[in-house]
């Protein structure tokens, strides 16, 4: 089966072509018109659209292809035990479902290193229990700049981050990077101690900075959310056929 997966964020639109659950190609764009042009060049049986910006009726009026709209009422291949499911970010549940594609059994933790860092836990019974949320790297940089009198707004260095900062900028960069690194590693240790056999899957825009964390049970898979959305579509297609 050929599926077209669309993830519409606040600033970017991601598209992906899956064939028999394998990611064949992916794209990034900024406008719905670009998305429609892309769809016209593809051959696919089903499409799923997830959006943080537009409602289903708005997308139906602007998209030139039929699609399944992913929202809180969409069927999931996991049991959602979150206490407030209507406040749960759809990308969060998609990430942990994507992680399940790579670890069919046992407990797992999906970590998304984006604007915020999110931790999503799925137990051995395939129950999503929740996780944690903390500020991401850039959010920490902006907070230090906005809520102090003299700290500058620093950007991520291209040539690595020294452990010991030698000036204010490099001190901030060191604190940001190693603060996040030790937070993530500490969370992995805490979850691993509580749930033996834990698999850890890291995604998100800042995941590339933490590939050194990769170990036997820790994997960096940038497109985890797209895999999760594809699995959600497959699950709902299977339900319709049953």
Q: What is the pTM of this model?
A: 0.93
Domain count of the chain? 2
Residue 192 inside a domain? The answer is: yes
User: Is 91 one of the annotated active-site residues of the chain?
Assistant: yes
91 marked as binding residue: yes
- 16 lies in the same domain as 55: yes
Of 54, 69, 84, the position where a domain reaches its end is 69
- 86 lies in the same domain as 131: yes
124 marked as binding residue: no
Name the one residue in this structure whose structure tokens are 């139906």.
Answer: 60
- 2 lies in the same domain as 116: no
- 111 lies in the same domain as 21: no
Query: What's the pLDDT at 157?
Result: 76
98 marked as binding residue: no
14 marked as binding residue: yes
- 202 lies in the same domain as 130: yes
Residue 25 has what DSSP assignment? E
- 89 lies in the same domain as 191: yes
74 marked as binding residue: no
Q: For residues 222 and 207, what is the distance between their CA atoms, to the nearest angstrom?
A: 7
- Which CATH number belongs to the domain containing residue 99 in this structure? 3.30.420.40
Per-residue pLDDT reduced to its tens digit, 160-180:
899 999 999 999 999 999 999
Q: CB-based contacts of 3: which residues, under 8 Å, 6+ apart?
A: 17, 18, 19, 44, 45, 46, 47, 48, 230, 233, 234
Strands 127-135 and 79-80: parallel
8 marked as binding residue: yes
Q: For residues 95 and 201, what is the distance between their CA atoms, to the nearest angstrom?
A: 9
Residue 48 inside a domain? The answer is: yes
- The partner residues of 133 in beta bridges, in order of sequence, read 118
Of 69, 88, 118, the position where a domain reaches its end is 69
Catalytic residue among 40, 57, 91, 159: 91
Per-residue pLDDT reduced to its tens digit, 67-85:
999 999 999 999 999 999 9
Query: What's the pLDDT at 160?
Result: 82
- 88 lies in the same domain as 176: yes
10 marked as binding residue: yes
Q: For residues 97 and 95, what is the distance between their CA atoms, to the nearest angstrom?
A: 5
Residue 122 inside a domain? The answer is: yes
Average pLDDT in the chain: 94
Q: For residues 48 and 193, what is the distance between their CA atoms, to the nearest angstrom?
A: 37
Confidence band (pLDDT; 50, 70, 90) for 240? confident
Q: Is 81 helix (H, G, I), strand (E, B) or coil?
A: coil
Residue 239 inside a domain? The answer is: no
- 12 lies in the same domain as 88: no
- 62 lies in the same domain as 172: no
Of 47, 69, 91, the position where a domain reaches its end is 69
Query: Residue 204's domain spans which residues?
Result: 76-225
- 96 lies in the same domain as 208: yes
- Residue 130: which H helix or E strand, with range? strand 127-135
Q: For residues 52 and 153, what is the distance between their CA atoms, to the nearest angstrom?
A: 27
Residue 233 inside a domain? The answer is: no
- 129 lies in the same domain as 218: yes
- 119 lies in the same domain as 157: yes
């Amino acid at each position: 089966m050929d599926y077209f997966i669309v993830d519409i964020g606040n600033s970017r639109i991601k598209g992906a072509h899956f064939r028999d659950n394998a990611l064949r190609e992916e794209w990034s764009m900024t406008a719905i018109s670009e998305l429609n042009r892309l769809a016209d060049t593809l051959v696919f049986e089903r499409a799923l659209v997830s959006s943080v910006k537009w409602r289903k009726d708005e997308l139906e009026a602007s998209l030139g292809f039929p699609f399944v709209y992913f929202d809180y009422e969409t069927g999931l291949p996991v049991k959602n035990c979150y206490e407030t499911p209507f406040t749960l970010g759809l990308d969060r549940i998609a990430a942990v479902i994507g992680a399940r594609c790579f670890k069919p059994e046992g407990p797992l933790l999906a970590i998304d290193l984006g604007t915020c860092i999110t931790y999503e836990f799925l137990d051995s019974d395939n129950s999503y229990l929740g996780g944690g949320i903390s500020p991401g790297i850039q959010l920490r940089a902006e907070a230090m700049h906005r809520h102090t009198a003299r700290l500058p707004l620093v950007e991520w260095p291209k040539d690595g981050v020294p452990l010991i900062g030698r000036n204010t900028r490099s001190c901030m960069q060191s604190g940001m990077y190693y603060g996040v690194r030790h937070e993530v590693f500490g969370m992995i240790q805490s979850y691993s101690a509580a749930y033996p056999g834990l698999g850890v899957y890291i995604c998100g825009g800042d995941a590339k900075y933490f590939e050194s964390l990769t170990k036997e049970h820790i994997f960096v898979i940038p497109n985890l959310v797209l895999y999760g959305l594809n699995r959600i579509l497959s699950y709902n297609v299977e339900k319709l056929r049953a």
